[in-house]
């Protein structure tokens, strides 16, 4: 098994900072697919195969699978198992609860789905996160300053800095990263100055219109683990609704990877 830390190091060395978000939506599947969750398997597998040459990571979003219940979770497992083993798998679940509940969530993410990392809500504090950190070879991306407009309700003006400060304190095993939105470029450099030791997962570049260049320039750190992972989902997945959807996704992924480089 390749650890989270090793995969981050490999991404850093290969400079493959693109993360492809796997957010399949039945209503947006290419027109030749049947509109049922079983179609997610072939759709996601073709997207993964087409974009893998340009991506260092894949981020399946649990919501789009678990809304179909037990069948959806089986499909998610199939999709994750298909991702090449050398790629970083980030399970986008945004979990965070009291300790015993978090133990169960961690077991689900790291033992059942065998994801390399997971997104977490840190707002209940360390005891809600410690069960995830205990998997030292796995990673946790804490929501710090997200890309959505309502981030200002709680995360701004200062909560995000408290999260970054605590994350730096907790990151003793180099298995913690932060979610920082590309729409928040004014704060990215500030967060990096506080959290110098780990990766940033940066959503919001594609459909949300975040600033790619500023996100990279301000989000990369001096340490090997301190990389900016640029996530794009809709702009790649739904680049075409025709039978050429995989080729269109590859073209979009290549374009974005070249812009990142």
Q: Which residues are catalytic?
A: 94
Strand intervals (E) in the chain:
18-22, 57-60, 88-95, 117-120, 139-145, 176-180, 200-202, 228-232
Name the token pair of 83.
């991702």
Cβ burial 183-212 (10 Å sphere, 16+ → b, else e): bbbebbeebbebbebbbbbbbbbbebebbb
Helix, coil or strand: residue 102: helix
Handedness of CA 93, 82, 227, 7 (dihedral sign): positive
Return all residues near 66 (Cβ < 8 A) that are at least 6 apart.
Answer: 72, 73, 76
């Amino acid at each position: 098994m390749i650890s989270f830390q090793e995969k981050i190091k490999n991404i850093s060395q290969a400079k493959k900072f693109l993360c492809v978000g796997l957010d399949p939506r039945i209503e947006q599947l290419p027109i030749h697919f049947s509109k049922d969750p079983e179609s997610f398997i072939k759709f996601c597998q073709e997207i993964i195969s087409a974009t893998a040459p340009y991506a260092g990571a894949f981020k399946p979003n649990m919501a789009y699978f678990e809304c179909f219940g037990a069948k959806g979770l089986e499909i998610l497992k199939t999709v994750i198992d298909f991702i090449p083993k050398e790629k970083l798998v980030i399970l986008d679940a945004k979990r965070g609860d009291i300790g015993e509940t978090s133990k169960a969530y961690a077991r689900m993410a790291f033992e059942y789905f065998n994801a390399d990392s997971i997104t977490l809500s840190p707002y209940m504090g360390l005891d809600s996160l410690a069960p995830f950190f205990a998997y030292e070879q796995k990673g946790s991306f804490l929501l710090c300053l997200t890309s959505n407009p309502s981030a200002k309700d709680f995360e701004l003006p200062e909560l995000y800095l408290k999260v970054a400060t605590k994350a730096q304190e907790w990151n003793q095993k180099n298995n913690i990263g932060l979610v920082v939105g590309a729409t928040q470029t004014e704060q990215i450099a500030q967060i990096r100055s506080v959290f110098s030791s780990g990766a940033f997962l940066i959503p919001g570049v594609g459909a949300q219109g975040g600033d790619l260049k500023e996100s990279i320039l301000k989000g990369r750190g001096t340490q090997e683990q301190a990389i900016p992972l640029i996530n794009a989902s809709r702009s790649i997945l739904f680049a075409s609704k025709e039978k050429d959807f995989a080729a269109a996704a590859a073209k979009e992924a290549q374009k974005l990877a070249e812009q990142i480089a």
